[in-house]
Amino acid sequence: MAQALLAGYETVTTDFMVHSIHSHFLKAAQPEISVIYRVERVRDTRSFATRLIRAMQRGILVFYSTASFAKSNVSQESKRTLRHSASYPQVEKPPSNPLAQSPAGQTGPDQPCDCVRLASRMNSSASPSDKRFYHWVRARGNIAKSPLKAVESEDGRSCNSRSLGKISEDTAVIGNDYHRRNHQAHAAALLYMSDNYFLATCFRAHNASRFSNPTSDHPGSSTIGYRANELDTAGRTFQALASEELEDNQGASKDGGHVTMAASMDHTVYFHNLHQLRADDWILVEMESPWAGDERGLVVSRIWSHDGTLAATCFQEGLVRLAQPPHSSRL
């Protein structure tokens, strides 16, 4: 999703910010095959731009997104307009001790983000739709203060500044509005992290088991297309998820069911106050599942900046199948 968004950003001017993106997962992408992103200009106006981004592998469509960008206008912020926001939840501040991080939340020296799960604050007898789950997350390292853009190398060829290494302070655009100038990177990082623990909210609300059940499939059971280090990482993640699941379900009813299949079908993010977002600072994620049925589950999350500003609202629907009891013979 993050790569698709950045591909869409390549086709709009820097004064446009993404305000929504709707993504659909059609086929499982193969990690050993390159992904080609094709961006179609659907509509351009003075205030909005719409892009359709397709992800292709060997000519097959595996994923697509519709992204909408709105023109950023600082002068509009003082205009009279409707304003309200969901209340910032009262939770513990993010700990500074790295040992408190969740090993299942894409953390570790070779992983893209830091993640700290918070203890679930709910009555075990509460309805699944009333339960809330929280974690702190942030992009690892520091996001550059100026956007990566096409520059001219010493041999005169045009290239992206990624290939020239980290942008130095003396060449970067520095100013009070640098968040606006590199909002693309912060938006892409938030979009990437918005999928962390997301669909699992649906079956966590039911205390259903997935990873801690002895019959669970190990993520490394299929080695096709994966390197040894990726399998090792998957194995550690599996063990961490199993431990977290056992902790979550401690003392809960054993009839929550066993999840045999879970897969994201679509993912939508609405961005708010993007120019104030720093994805490399701690952001708080609150997750809930308002509905599940027909082997599908809907999950919703709200994401706040460290200062309590609502940064995004996310929705995802996924396929969730449970193990079925064996059919009794009529004989």
What pLDDT, on the 0 to 100 scale, is given for residue 181? 62
Is 84 a member of any domain?
no
Contact 43, 50 (CB under 8 A): yes
Tokens of 114: 């830091």
What pLDDT, on the 0 to 100 scale, is given for residue 154? 40
Q: For 38-52, write each residue's pLDDT tens digit.
A: 999 999 999 999 999
Q: Which of 17-26, 80-89, 158-167, 251-260 has the highest mean pLDDT?
A: 17-26
- Note whether 200 and 315 are same-domain residues: yes
Is 80 a member of any domain?
no
Burial (CB < 10 A; 0-12, 13-18, 19+), residue 327, is: exposed
Is 307 a member of any domain?
yes
What pLDDT, on the 0 to 100 scale, is given for residue 73? 72
Mean pLDDT of 306-315: 95
Mean pLDDT of 134-145: 88
Please report the DSSP string for 135-177 in residue order: EEEEESS---SS---EEE-TTS-EEEGGGG-SPPTTTS--STT
**Count of domains observed in the chain:** 3
Is 131 a member of any domain?
yes
Q: Is the per-residue pLDDT at 237 higher than 90?
A: no
What pLDDT, on the 0 to 100 scale, is given for residue 105? 57
Is 82 a member of any domain?
no
State the chain's mean pLDDT as an integer.
81
- Note whether 207 and 295 are same-domain residues: yes
What pLDDT, on the 0 to 100 scale, is given for residue 249? 72
Task: State the maximum Cα–Cα separation within the chain, in Å, rounded to a whole number.
Answer: 82
Mean pLDDT of 204-211: 86
Q: For 209-227, write each residue's pLDDT tens digit.
A: 887 654 455 444 444 455 6
What pLDDT, on the 0 to 100 scale, is given for residue 216? 53
- Note whether 139 and 150 are same-domain residues: no
Mean pLDDT of 287-301: 98
Q: Is the per-residue pLDDT at 83 higher than 60?
A: yes
Distance CA 213, CA 313 (A): 32
When pLDDT is cut at 50, 70 and 90, the band that residue 77 belongs to is low
Q: For 153-202, write each residue's pLDDT tens digit.
A: 344 433 343 332 333 333 333 344 544 568 899 999 999 999 998 999 99
Give the residue from 44, 75, 106 where a domain finishes: 75
Contact 5, 21 (CB under 8 A): yes
Distance CA 193, CA 112 (A): 9
Is 87 a member of any domain?
no
Query: What per-residue string of b and e applies to 47-79 under the rule 16 or more CB within 10 Å gives b?
Result: eebbbebbbbbeeeebbbbbbbbbebeeeeeee
- Note whether 157 and 128 are same-domain residues: no
From residue 231, give the alpha-carbon distance in Å to each of 29, 32, 107, 276.
Answer: 17, 14, 16, 37
Give the residue from 18, 43, 75 where a domain finishes: 75
- Note whether 137 and 274 are same-domain residues: yes
- Note whether 188 and 315 are same-domain residues: yes
Is 83 a member of any domain?
no
- Note whether 132 and 244 are same-domain residues: yes
Q: Can you give the CATH number for the domain in which 203 is found?
A: 3.10.129.10
- Note whether 61 and 102 are same-domain residues: no
Q: For 99-131, write each residue's pLDDT tens digit.
A: 566 665 555 566 788 888 887 655 567 899 999
Distance CA 107, CA 103 (A): 6
Range in 33-47, 48-62, 133-147, 223-237 the model is least confident about: 223-237
Mean pLDDT of 8-31: 95
Give the residue from 177, 199, 226 where a domain finishes: 177
Q: Which domain holds residue 159?
A: 146-177
- Note whether 243 and 201 are same-domain residues: yes
Q: For 250-280, write each residue's pLDDT tens digit.
A: 766 667 788 999 999 999 999 999 888 999 9
Contact 146, 172 (CB under 8 A): yes
Query: Which H helix or E strand runs over 123?
Result: none
Query: Which H helix or E strand runs over 208?
Result: none
- Note whether 9 and 104 are same-domain residues: no
What pLDDT, on the 0 to 100 scale, is given for residue 167? 31
What pLDDT, on the 0 to 100 scale, is given for residue 240? 72
Please report the DSSP string for 176-195 in residue order: TTHHHHTHHHHHHHHHHHTT
- Note whether 209 and 164 are same-domain residues: no
What pLDDT, on the 0 to 100 scale, is given for residue 65? 99
Considering only residues 19 and 104, tell me which one the structure prediction assigns the higher pLDDT. Answer: 19
- Note whether 99 and 210 are same-domain residues: yes
By percentage, how much of the chain surpasses pLDDT 70?
71
As a whole number of Å, the CA-based R_g of the chain is: 21
Please report the DSSP string for 66-83 in residue order: EEEEEE--GGGGGS----
What pLDDT, on the 0 to 100 scale, is given for residue 99? 54
Contact 181, 147 (CB under 8 A): yes
What pLDDT, on the 0 to 100 scale, is given for residue 295? 97
Nearest in space to 104 (alpha carbons), one of 96, 113, 95:
113
Q: What is the pTM of this model?
A: 0.81
Is 89 a member of any domain?
no
